[in-house]
Amino acid sequence: MVEETQKPLLAEAKKAGSNGKKGGSGTPMSTALNLAASSMGTGLLTLPHAFACCGPVLCTLLLAILALTTDVTLVLLIRLGRHLGVSTFGSLMQRLFGKNGSACFQLMLISVLFLALTAMQRVVLDLLPIFMEAVCGLKVSPLGLSMIVNVFVLSACFSGSYHALRRA
């Protein structure tokens, strides 16, 4: 049992040919999409009522299935990326589906994320003003607060580098 927990989950990656860049070849757009997808994953935490309606047993079962599915999916993506010698999700999709298939996949991903971000915007409009009033004692306009949040998010999306966020 102890040996199994000390084994790495994935085998060591083979060194791919160097493209002269440090790190991966992600772009600000791909990073913004990854951040949006990550925020959608944590968005489940904003739905406690839905999980409360499930009950503790069903909720635990659903979370276990979701965790297992996520783990298997990520391991498969990493193994496939290493096998094909690519380091970004976009380049993996292009190798698997070609240029048109990759563009179609990106369009679907952007559509889903847009709808999910719209729902998250609704959460910001509804809950953040209440939080600000409780913490700071300030009554703020939901639309004004939303505009401020969106300016920061938009500036992060168009940033050329995300290295400053590592220490945040």
Express each pLDDT in 129-164 by its tens digit: 888 888 888 888 888 888 888 888 777 777 666 666
Task: Provide the residue type at 45 as one letter.
Answer: L
Answer positive or negative: Cα dihedral of 83, 87, 90, 91: negative
Q: What is the span of the domain harbouring residue 146?
A: 108-159
Q: How many domains would you assign to the chain?
A: 1
The position carrying tokens 């199994």 is: 4
Region 33-52: mean pLDDT is 63
Pairwise pLDDT comparison (11 vs 103), residue with the higher score: 103
For residue 33, which of 156, 166, 165, 167 has the smallest C-alpha distance?
Answer: 156
Answer positive or negative: Cα dihedral of 148, 49, 56, 59: negative
The position carrying tokens 């698997």 is: 96
The position carrying tokens 């999709």 is: 93
Pairwise pLDDT comparison (51 vs 57), residue with the higher score: 57
Region 50-64: mean pLDDT is 80
Give CA angle at 66 (62, 71), nearest 5°. Answer: 150
Check pLDDT > 60 for residue 45.
no
Residue 78 pLDDT: 86
- Domain presence at residue 112: yes
- Domain presence at residue 155: yes
Which two tokens mark 33? 């999409």
- Domain presence at residue 47: no
- Domain presence at residue 46: no
Task: Provide the residue type at 58 as one letter.
Answer: L
- Domain presence at residue 84: no
- Domain presence at residue 149: yes
Region 28-45: mean pLDDT is 62
Q: Is the CB of residue 129 less than 8 Å from the CB of residue 142?
A: yes
Region 59-71: mean pLDDT is 84
Mean of per-residue pLDDT scores for the chain: 75
Give CA angle at 13 (76, 87), nearest 5°. Answer: 65
Phi and psi (nearest 5°) for 18?
-75, 135
Other Cβ atoms closer than 10 A to 89: 19
- Domain presence at residue 119: yes
Residue 21 pLDDT: 46
Check pLDDT > 70 for residue 24.
no
Q: Is the CB of residue 91 less than 8 Å from the CB of residue 103?
A: no
- Domain presence at residue 133: yes
